[in-house]
Amino acid sequence: MSRVAIVLYRPLKGKEEELVEHLRGAFPMMRRNGFITDRKATGMKTKDGRLIVVFEWTSEEAIERAGEHPEVQEKWMEVDRLSAFDKAASVPEFQRSLPDFEYINIE
């Protein structure tokens, strides 16, 4: 059974565009290695500038394997240089019944 991931990034000052470009390169690699499905990842921007990315893992096992894969580790280290992670519950838009976000072309 596939699993959906929702990841919230807080880009470091002046790093938003670099983060988006980096993420665009990460999804083909994740797909090529069998970690995520062929469904297109969706990117959204909150009013305060954080980025939400939604994608689908191929399986629970893929989640575990991805964390040990050298290419994935390299990509994640770069993400750490460009942003911090936040919890989706901290996004004010999620307090509304119908949250809306700016679309970001992530793939």
CA 36, CA 31: separation in Å to the nearest integer? Answer: 5
CA 20, CA 98: separation in Å to the nearest integer? Answer: 25
Q: What is the CATH number of the domain that holds 68?
A: 3.30.70.100
CA 49, CA 10: separation in Å to the nearest integer? Answer: 7
Bridge partners, residue 57, by sequence: 3, 36
- Start-to-end Cα distance in the chain: 23
Number of domains in the chain: 1
CA 15, CA 30: separation in Å to the nearest integer? Answer: 22
pLDDT in tens, the chain (107 residues): 779 999 999 999 999 999 999 999 999 999 999 999 999 999 999 999 999 999 999 999 999 999 999 999 999 999 999 999 999 889 999 999 999 999 999 98
For 39, the token pair is 């469904």
Quote the domain boundaries for residue 30.
3-104
